Structure 1
């Protein structure tokens, strides 16, 4: 099973790219969804957050006031680290469980949608590669102002809490440029899927078919067709 990470920065359109990959048939493990689930009412995660930051972060319905929490953790590095120490182990454990559950899946690709991949140094856990949804900082700030209702200072504060997106671009295996229109992004995702998944799967299918034909043609009593190494198979260390 081939597993890659999908990451990005705030307002770079990572969720949009994830949705398009799912449309192609990828199985997506969504860390943002899991992050919400681990602090739902009644969970140990929410209890730990309330114990660390106070009951004033609870809404009237008993849920987490994410806006109030965001104001605290984006303004103070130590508060953000304290929150991450609570939530990250819960998120990682749930993500690992969902990936393991996909072991028998016939999906051509498993995509782990992982917002803070590079910040946590987890990129080495994805030897099949890391795909980055990219938008430059000016575009990120504009989107945060237009879609998130944030002021310029608050938007820059959000960006400062993550590694610079251009540094992430240098670390990624592949990059989807998500600065343009949704149509532009779809074309980029379609091209990436064609080159990195569909074409690869086609080559693998041909290799397997060639291997079966090669085995079927062998006569164990004929030294000219006795088993030999299959030239269609990759060498040790090669790409399968």
Structure 2
């Protein structure tokens, strides 16, 4: 098994690169999907994690069906750093455990496992696994803002705030083995993904 991190800021194109690698045969673990799963009421971890979140943020962050209203959570914690840290202290251990299980399921195989993980930087706390390769996907801030407006319906103000909150790319570049810039054409991104795939399977 080869374990590859694909990271980058919001709107940079992580998912585009991960999909390109999946099309070539990679097994993709999407950190955002894992984060949603551990707060799913139907997941074995879900009820316990949801109860802790409701105790911290209030029952109003839960939808009528008992699921987590992620927009309400974001509205509560986005501007409160201390509260955001306390929220992360609840959900991160569950995410780490679930991710480790997903990775372990591929051990002993020859799979290329891509972990699509946002904002992996030189400042990220030690993880329970080690990557064989770290890829960061980057694009200039203006391109990212436009993508958030066009693809997710963000207002320009909201898009700029999300990009700005994640800081610059320097701390991601500090740990990257490979940098893929998506400022160019889709064909150029596909070409870079193809080059990466050949490296991973050489």
TMscore range, shorter length: 0.7 to 0.9
Partner of 1:61: 65
Deviates more, 1:113-122 or 1:123-132: 123-132
Which structure has the higher relative contact order (CA within 8 Å, separation 6+)? 2
Bigger radius of gyration among the two? 1
Partner of 1:29: 29
* Coordinate RMSD, CA, aligned: 2.1
Q: Once the 2 structures are TM-superposed, how far is the Cα of residue 17 of structure 1 from its aligned partner?
A: 1.0
Q: How has the CA–CA distance of structure 1 residues 140 and 122 changed in structure 2, closer, same or farther, with 3 Å as cutoff?
A: farther
Partner of 1:105: 109
C-alpha distance in 1, partners of 2:182/2:5?
Answer: 17
Q: Secondary structure at the match of 1:130?
A: strand
C-alpha distance in 2, partners of 1:157/1:124?
Answer: 31
Stretches of 4+ moved more than 6 A in 1? Answer: none
Q: How does 1:221-236 map to 2 (within 5 A)?
A: none
Match of 1:182 among 162, 182, 186: 186
Task: Give unpaired runs (5+ residues) of structure 1.
Answer: 201-240
- Please, what TM-score do these two structures have when normalized by structure 2? 0.87
C-alpha distance in 1, partners of 2:139/2:7?
Answer: 12
Partner of 2:172: 168
Kept after mapping to 1: 8 A contact 2:5/2:131: no
C-alpha distance in 1, partners of 2:168/2:126?
Answer: 16
Partner of 1:7: 7
Asked whether 1:115 is paired with 2:115, we answer: no
Q: How has the CA–CA distance of structure 1 residues 160 and 122 changed in structure 2, closer, same or farther, with 3 Å as cutoff?
A: farther
Partner of 2:53: 49
Q: Secondary structure at the match of 1:29?
A: strand
Deviates more, 1:132-141 or 1:118-127: 118-127
Task: Give unpaired runs (5+ residues) of structure 2.
Answer: none
The superposition leaves residues 74-113 of structure 1 with CA deviations (integer Å, 9 ceiling, x where unpaired) of 2221222122111111111111111111113232x12122
Q: Secondary structure at the match of 2:118?
A: coil
Partner of 1:224: none
C-alpha distance in 2, partners of 1:146/1:55?
Answer: 33
Q: Once the 2 structures are TM-superposed, how far is the Cα of residue 145 of structure 1 from its aligned partner?
A: 2.0
C-alpha distance in 2, partners of 1:163/1:45?
Answer: 29
